[in-house]
Amino acid sequence: MTSEEKQPMAPEDAYPELQEEEIDVEAELEKLILEDSEAEASAAAGEATAEPSLAQSEALKQLQHELEVMRQQLKEKEESYLRLYADFENYRRRTQREKEEFSQKERQKFVLEILPVVDSFERAQQQVKLETDRERELHNSYQSVYRLLVESLKKMGVSRMKAVGQPFDPNLHEAIARQPSSDYPEDVVVTEYQAGYKLGDLVIRHAMVAVSEGIPEREAVANGGSPTPEAPEVTSDPQPETDPQPETETSPSPES
């Protein structure tokens, strides 16, 4: 190796011109790269701002359409729910009413089967004649059973209708006769043959009664009244009584 080759190289500071040029080149390159990247970014941003505006409008329309569809479906579901709820309420009320009617009919049937027993107790009470202590004891014993039966019917809502002295009502009474009466005006119940009963407000048995015809005409005339024009009293001379002609016995003609 020669002496020139063995000499050390000068430091970088010994060539300031070359160093400055290298620095300027790198700066220019970095500047150009930065400008290119900014240009590309701005161009991409411009394209992105243009394209997403159309895409966003389409997406917005799609979302609005889906929202309208969901609102319509929700409305249909609400209407379906309301119809179902109304049907259920009608079914519940109908079943409750049928249950009450069935219970009412069963109670009515039971009461109608018991009422003849009550009638028998009442007829016995009216017809019996208490003469001895034994008869009074028996009477008191079955009357206690009668009172217990009546109290049980009352707890079920059974009530006896008042008939005598009340105006005749075909919804409550069944007229089987008409009677003249000086105590009650016309079309008023004068006699009760069989008691009528109600179960709550429902008539389960009509009362069998006799209805007043009013004061008899002859009694009204005797009391100072006048006969009614519809049926005036006709007076005529009495016909003389004639004795009947005695029957004459005729003998049969002899045979020829």
CB-based contact 185:211 (threshold 8 Å)? no
SS3 for 172? coil
Site of tokens 């009450």? 100
The CA distance from 191 to 210, in Å, is 5
**What does pTM read for this prediction?**
0.49
Phi and psi at residue 147, to the nearest 5°: -65, -40
* Overall average pLDDT of the 237-249 stretch: 41
CA distance 172 to 108: 16
Q: Output the six-digit token pair for 197.
A: 């009963």
Mean pLDDT is lowest, of 85-99, 119-133, 139-153, for 119-133
Report residue 248's pLDDT band, with 50, 70 and 90 as the boundaries.
Answer: very low
d(CA 253, CA 256) in angstroms, rounded, equals 9
Confidence of residue 132 (pLDDT cuts 50, 70, 90): confident
Helix (H) or strand (E) holding 34: helix 16-127
Question: If we measure between CA atoms, which residue out of 112, 137, 81 comes closest to residue 206?
Answer: 112
Tokens representing 4 are 């020139």
**pLDDT for position 25:** 57
- Say which residue the tokens 């009638």 belong to: 119
